[in-house]
A = this chain, B = another copy of it.
Amino acid sequence: MPIVTIKITGDEESPSTESKKQLISKITNVIGEVLHKNTHNLCVIIEEVPMDSYGIGGVTVRELRRRK
């Protein structure tokens, strides 16, 4: 029973409820197809990380967005 965790930026970049539904459904299907596994109990967890708590290359995502 695979367990999938997706970490993405939250706050203004938080995905909509509909996007979360699609991520959960489509990723479950991909794993079922590729691994030929029963996905009945496959778990997908989406974790939103605040933009001040997510750093890339030493800089927070908040700061990176400001620089754009």
Number of interface residues, chain A, beta carbon within 8 A: 46
From B2, B20, B52, B56, give the contact of A1 (CB < 8 A).
Answer: B56
Q: CA A49 – CA B45 in complex, angstroms? A: 7
**Interchain CB contact under 8 A, B8 and A35:** yes
Most buried by B among A6, A7, A25: A6
Dominant SS among interface residues on chain A? mixed
* Minimum CB distance partner of A46 in chain B: B53
**Interchain CB contact under 8 A, A4 and B2:** no
* Minimum CB distance partner of A17 in chain B: B52
The residues in A between 28 and 68 inclusive whose CB is less than 8 angstroms from any CB of B are: 28-31, 34-35, 39-49, 52-60, 63
